[in-house]
């Protein structure tokens, strides 16, 4: 006897005893199943969001634990005006159509890290403003990373020393960065927002976790010293 057959028999018995009771029991069972599915869906979404915030992916952690060749850009920035309904470039590095690395706020004020490789293919990470990421009218440290090897590449962004997003590739993502870096607008002259850059550091390579922590502490101290020099 299958499970479906047993359910059918029990429903027949229930209808024979009391149609009202049977309807109530079946409704409660279906209602509880729906609530359980909804709860599981919410838990799954929360777990997924937490994994993204913390950057917990075994594939990536194994590949970056010793660092990688590539490029890292760290800046302390205070965004003071999010009213412009357009892209607001914080920095733009490289060429127009390829070998370009950019950081900007889009029209919805999501923080976007965009990389265009030397074939003209575009890759990007998008971060929504919030308590776990960046907030306007306060100083935030943003670290963007591009690392690569023969069979693995990664784009990653940290907000205040917490990994906020990453994208990984099982191939060598080719990006030949240049020294042409523009702050406050795009190379095309696209309008910028209103913000203050407190400090900017550009380095070759991607740190391992220990060196990244040391670097973050060093740039925090540097930024504090620079702020004291202003007064």
CB 95 within 8 A of CB 117: no
Q: Can you tell me the distance from the alpha carbon of 13 to that of 99, in angstroms, rounded to the nearest whole number?
A: 72
pTM greater than 0.75? no
CA angle 118, 123, 128 (to 5 degrees): 150
What domains are defined for the chain? 3-52 (no CATH), 55-229 (2.60.120.200)
Least confident of 27-36, 131-140, 195-204: 27-36
> Distance between CA 129 and CA 29 in Å, rounded?
41
pLDDT value at position 47? 53
Residue 86 CA from chain centroid, whole number: 20
What integer pLDDT is reported at residue 129 of this predicted model? 77
Residue 11 has pLDDT above 90, yes or no: no
Between residues 30 and 130, the one the model is more confident about: 130
Please report which confidence band the pLDDT of residue 139 belongs to, taking 50, 70 and 90 as the band edges.
confident
CB of 78 closer than 8 Å to CB of 196: yes
Contacts of 51 (CB under 8 A, 6+ apart): 57
Q: In this predicted model, which residue has the larger pLDDT, 45 or 93?
A: 93
pLDDT at 4 over 70: no
When comparing pLDDT for 15 and 209, which is higher?
209
3-state secondary structure of 81: strand
Predicted confidence at residue 153, as pLDDT, reads 94
Mean pLDDT in residue range 195-204: 83
pLDDT tens digits, 97-132: 889 999 988 888 888 999 999 999 999 999 887 766
The C-alpha atoms of residue 95 and residue 93 are separated, in whole angstroms, by 7
pLDDT at 24 (0 to 100): 45
Amino acid 110: pLDDT: 86
pLDDT in tens, 31-81: 555 555 555 555 555 554 444 444 434 444 456 667 899 999 998 888 776
Structure tokens at 70: 């590539």
Q: What is the pLDDT of residue 42?
A: 54
Token pair for residue 160? 């205040």
Q: How confident is the model at residue 12 (pLDDT cuts 50, 70, 90)?
A: very low
Q: pLDDT tens digits, residue range 148-197?
A: 999 999 999 999 999 999 999 999 999 987 667 777 676 666 666 667 77
User: Which strands, in side-by-side order, build the sheet including 111-116?
Assistant: 122-127, 111-116, 100-105, 88-94, 181-183
List the beta bridge partners of residue 155.
146, 167
Of 218, 146, 149, 152, nearest to 177 (Cα)?
146
Q: Of 99, 218, 100, 115, whose CA–CA distance to 166 is shortest?
A: 115
- pLDDT on residue 224: 80
DSSP single-letter state for residue 175:
-
Beta-ladder partners of 154: 147, 168
């Amino acid at each position: 006897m299958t499970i479906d057959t047993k359910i059918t028999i029990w429903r027949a018995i229930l209808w024979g005893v009391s149609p009202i009771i049977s309807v109530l029991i079946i409704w409660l069972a279906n209602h509880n199943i729906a609530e359980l599915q909804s709860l599981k869906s919410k838990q799954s979404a929360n777990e997924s969001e937490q994994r993204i915030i913390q950057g917990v992916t075994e594939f990536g952690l194994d590949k970056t634990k010793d660092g990688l060749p590539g490029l890292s850009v760290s800046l302390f920035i205070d965004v003071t005006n999010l009213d412009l309904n357009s892209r607001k470039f914080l920095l733009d590095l490289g060429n127009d159509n390829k070998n370009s690395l950019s950081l900007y706020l889009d029209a919805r004020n999501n923080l976007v890290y965009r990389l265009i490789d030397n074939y003209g293919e575009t890759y990007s990470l998008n971060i929504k403003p919030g308590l776990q990421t960046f907030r306007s009218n306060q100083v935030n440290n943003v670290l963007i990373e591009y690392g690569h090897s023969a069979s693995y590449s990664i784009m990653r962004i940290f907000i205040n020393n917490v990994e906020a997003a990453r994208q990984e590739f099982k191939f060598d993502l080719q990006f030949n960065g240049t020294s042409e870096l523009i702050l406050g607008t795009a190379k095309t002259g696209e309008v910028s927002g209103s913000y203050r850059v407190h400090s900017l550091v550009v380095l070759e390579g991607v740190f391992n976790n220990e060196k990244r922590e040391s670097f973050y502490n060093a740039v925090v101290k540097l930024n504090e010293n620079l702020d004291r020099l202003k007064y």
